[in-house]
Structure 1
Amino acid sequence: MIPSNEWLKTWNEKRALLACPNNLNDYFEEPDVAGKKIDRLELGSVSIPTGGILVRDPLVYIRKDAEPYLIKVPIGEFPVTAAVVVPDGEDCARYAAVKVQFTAYDAIRFEEALIGTEDLIDFNEGEFFGFNVDAGLACVLDKETLNHFCAFQEAFHKEHPGKNLYDDYFSALFSANYAENPDYQREEGDWINWTIPGTDYHIPFFQSGFGDGTYPVYYGFDIEGNVCSLIIQFIDIELAYGKEE
């Protein structure tokens, strides 16, 4: 979808308000943030054949008409990493953020990824748009892999009427991945790197921090203003775990 000229004008006027309030580099580089130990978990790669990238709940919001984010990203296979709040006896491991790294350059600023239809008129500092999670999971995918996912979804329900896509298909994959990669996962599994049947495309699925909710997605821009990463922030670690002032 091509945004209107009016939308683009408002977007350019308000882009400074779309900046992430946290330095998300810390989540992937520092040993601890706000007193919480942070570790990194490699989730394999994601396939981006067109550059039209999306972030969605894979069990609730996979639809053919889903629009990718406005700014395209590089094409190819890219590594995906989760920043994990290490369990300390009071809670399980929580995935605070998930990053797709597109280039070898570091991000010097982070700005929320938008589709081009958001209502920016009344948007204010400290707010975000984000994407919705209703099944405790999120995934990163491309506009083309979305189409393959939708085709798989339709074929599954046609071949297995009355069956549930998670209970009768994905659940076994999550459990198997836990058995092979138990670090920072619960027994039922907290992530998989799924190859869409009949293709070579990879879509990583992962737990969404504190579960259901609305979460922001940020582009990372390098010193020359190019997109070098995409980060989903599930937990504002400083806000969730930092000491109140």
Structure 2
Amino acid sequence: MRPGVPQGTRPHTRVAAVRLVIREMPTTSWEMAVDEGQDPAVLGEDEFYGYGVDAGTGCFYDAGADGSFPGTEDEEGPVWAAMETVGDGPSVFLAEGEDGHTLAGFTSGWGDGCYPTWIGRDTEGRVTCFVTDFLVVPTAQVPAA
């Protein structure tokens, strides 16, 4: 439920974050996921780089799978077919694309928008996981010193 909005009679559930585990090792450091040419050092305190969400659905897939899910932009193909199998409410689904690629999709917090993803690394710098924050849980306000 959104802060300041009264709760209705039907429970309302949202996905606050999603995690894709790459390696079952403790995560000891985090960095913002960025595209080529994006520099987190130029961002303000409450700014981030993120990925755009449409149709209230985000996903994780390898860059090598780009183009393996034809019809997605036209609301057709394996991604839309997989989305239709999950029904209402927060859900995760897998879509099988061309060339053996798989996409993990999920409902996205408050829906359409832009959301940051973080890369977790172990003590040796290897990727342990990816986490997308759907900005559902409010951050604590820290009083000025």
Common fold by TM > 0.5: yes
1:230 aligns with 2:130: yes
User: Which one has the bigger helix percentage?
Assistant: 1
- Say if 1:170 and 1:146 are closer, same or farther in 2 by CA, change over 3 A: closer
1:145 CA displacement: 1.2
Mapping of residues 1-245 of structure 1, within 5 Å: 91-118=11-38, 122-149=42-69, 152-153=70-71, 164-166=74-76, 172-178=81-87, 185-186=88-89, 190-196=91-97, 198-239=98-139
Q: Indicate conservation of the 8 Å contact 2:91/2:107, yes or no.
A: yes
Cα distance in 2 for partners of 1:223, 1:89 equals: 47
- Say if 1:101 and 1:171 are closer, same or farther in 2 by CA, change over 3 A: closer
- Say if 1:172 and 1:102 are closer, same or farther in 2 by CA, change over 3 A: closer
Q: What is the RMSD computed on CA atoms of the aligned residues?
A: 3.3
Cα distance in 1 for partners of 2:93, 2:16 equals: 17
1:211 alignment partner, SS class: coil
Letter in 2 for 1:215: Y
Cα distance in 1 for partners of 2:39, 2:119 equals: 19
Q: Which runs of 5+ in 2 are unaligned?
A: 1-7
1:100 alignment partner, SS class: strand
Q: Which runs of 5+ in 1 are unaligned?
A: 1-87, 158-163, 179-184
TM-score w.r.t. the length of structure 1 is 0.47
Letter in 2 for 1:92: H
- Say if 1:171 and 1:132 are closer, same or farther in 2 by CA, change over 3 A: closer
1:95 CA displacement: 0.9
Higher normalized contact order (CA 8 Å, seq sep 6+, divided by chain length)? 2
Q: Indicate conservation of the 8 Å contact 2:51/2:114, yes or no.
A: yes
TM-score w.r.t. the length of structure 2 is 0.74
1:147 alignment partner, SS class: coil
1:209 CA displacement: 0.5
Q: Which protein shows a greater Rg? A: 1
**How many residues get paired?**
137
Q: Counterpart of 2:5?
A: none
Cα distance in 1 for partners of 2:52, 2:36 equals: 17
- Say if 1:177 and 1:90 are closer, same or farther in 2 by CA, change over 3 A: closer
- Say if 1:99 and 1:120 are closer, same or farther in 2 by CA, change over 3 A: closer
1:102 CA displacement: 0.9
Cα distance in 2 for partners of 1:130, 1:108 equals: 22
